[in-house]
Amino acid sequence: MKYSQSFINTRRDDPKDETATNARLLLRGGFIDKLMAGSFTFLPLGWRVYQKIEQIVREEMNAIGSAEILMPLLHPKDVWNETGRWADPNVKQIMYQFKSVDEKEYGLSFTHEEIFLDVIRKNSLSYKNLPIKLYHFSTKFRNEARAKSGLLRGREFIMKDLYSMHTTQEDLDKFYWEVKDAYLRAFNRVGLKDVKVVEASGGVFTSGHTHEFQLVSPVGEDNIYFCNKCDWAQNKEIYTHKIGDPCPKCGGQVEEASSIEVGNIFRFGTVYSEKMGINFKDSDGKDKPPYLGSYGIGMSRLIGVLAEVFNDDVGIKWPKSVAPFLIHLVSLGNTKTEAEKLYRTLAEKSVDVLWDDREESAGVKLSDADLIGIPYRIIVSDKTLAQESVEIKERGSDKVEMVKLGELSSWLEKLE
């Protein structure tokens, strides 16, 4: 893609009010625009990052046998009344509820359990067609008391949510742990190598504990306790030991840290099925309520988390798997013709390349390249062309590599 056609507008100065690193860098780099506190437009660069993350999560969801759908965001009051959640004071705090001019009552989705259940109950449910596993990527509205920290806590954000329905608790449990592994694979692939699976309280509607996926980070809002030897971890709400106590699982040392929640998984059991009067026909001919599981990943929050984790004093350093482009092609001096040739060649090979085709000074282009944080910067200049070469530099590295124009293809192949 050409820079000049990508609506990329970088800022030289940090935004006045934003102190969160992700907000500062994403706004300066032209990844997002803020409409109001906790509500953002994803600009072309930011949306490309989103789409990279989405595709990784999609692949992992498909790999565990779930199918993608898209559920609506405008919900009628009635279905929420069936579970009693419409009038729940806790729900009322965060759910946007309103009357339209015709006096009908609606809510904006902050989660989709009711809608998922409504979708599947309209079909004959038998043990033969369970389990059902459906997921979607969509917006969630939550009237947060305090939106903050850029993309980390918004009033409107994008979530991947997966819902599953099973004949037995055992089958739900089995899938629950499959989802856990799929989530860890997804986080790993987007560049977050050390996400901890943390036990958390289930609240009133869940059977047993739930699990949160927490990334240790100084900007995190949560506090977790984890073992420095094994995978044991609990969040603040359920941790009952004292700091310094040995790990209850392996005897190792328990540590405390602040962390950011990037996902969670819940087992609801049959509570909602019963409230909504949903049954499946089991092999013994009896009607039984199915078991519900619900699993979320904060998609837009992940972008913020990645910006928090991968940056230096001049900008973002995107992991290759989620970078908006793989290559940032910069042409300096009067090299536009050669650069365009190169750009076309790369585009034909389906390489994700951003070509800075602007009439800007070298300093502006190079600074913007640092700020935007694309993994590889390729410079074409009179200097490099004199050697029939381009200069390649990895973001965040000091080393530059001169590569002959004729050898660029093999350089690209080595990348994979």
Q: Binding residues for RNA, per CB under 7 A?
A: 10-20, 23, 34, 36-38, 90-91, 93-94, 110-111, 144-150, 153, 161, 203, 205, 221-222, 264, 266, 294, 296, 314, 332-333, 359-371, 379, 381, 383-384, 391, 393, 400
Of 380, 376, 382, 374, residue with least CA distance to 357: 380
Least distance CB 286 / RNA (angstroms): 29
Residue type, 203: G
Q: Calculate the CA dihedral of residues 151, 152, 157, 162 and round it to 10 degrees.
A: 130
Residue with tokens 């055992």: 170
CB < 8 Å & 24+ apart, contacts of 180-184: 180/211, 180/265, 182/60, 182/61, 182/63, 182/64, 183/60, 183/213, 183/263, 183/265, 183/295, 183/297, 184/213
| CB of 104 or CB of 341, closer to RNA | 341
The angle that helices 299-309 and 44-63 make with each other, rounded to 10 degrees, is: 110
| CB of 52 or CB of 112, closer to RNA | 112
| CB of 228 or CB of 361, closer to RNA | 361
| CB of 340 or CB of 360, closer to RNA | 360
CA distances in angstroms from 346 to 50, 84, 354, 407, 411, listed in the order given: 23, 56, 10, 13, 12
Of 48, 91, 79, 45, residue with least CA distance to 372: 45
Of 373, 404, 372, residue with least CA distance to 387: 404
Least distance CB 332 / RNA (angstroms): 4
Least distance CB 80 / RNA (angstroms): 12
| CB of 27 or CB of 125, closer to RNA | 27
Least distance CB 363 / RNA (angstroms): 3
Least distance CB 295 / RNA (angstroms): 8
Token output for 51: 């789409």
CA distance 354 to 376: 10
Least distance CB 139 / RNA (angstroms): 13
| CB of 109 or CB of 247, closer to RNA | 109
Least distance CB 83 / RNA (angstroms): 10
Residue type, 36: M
| CB of 247 or CB of 369, closer to RNA | 369
Q: How many residues does the chain have?
A: 416
| CB of 93 or CB of 410, closer to RNA | 93
Burial of 185 (0-12, 13-18, 19+ CB in 10 A): middle
Least distance CB 245 / RNA (angstroms): 23
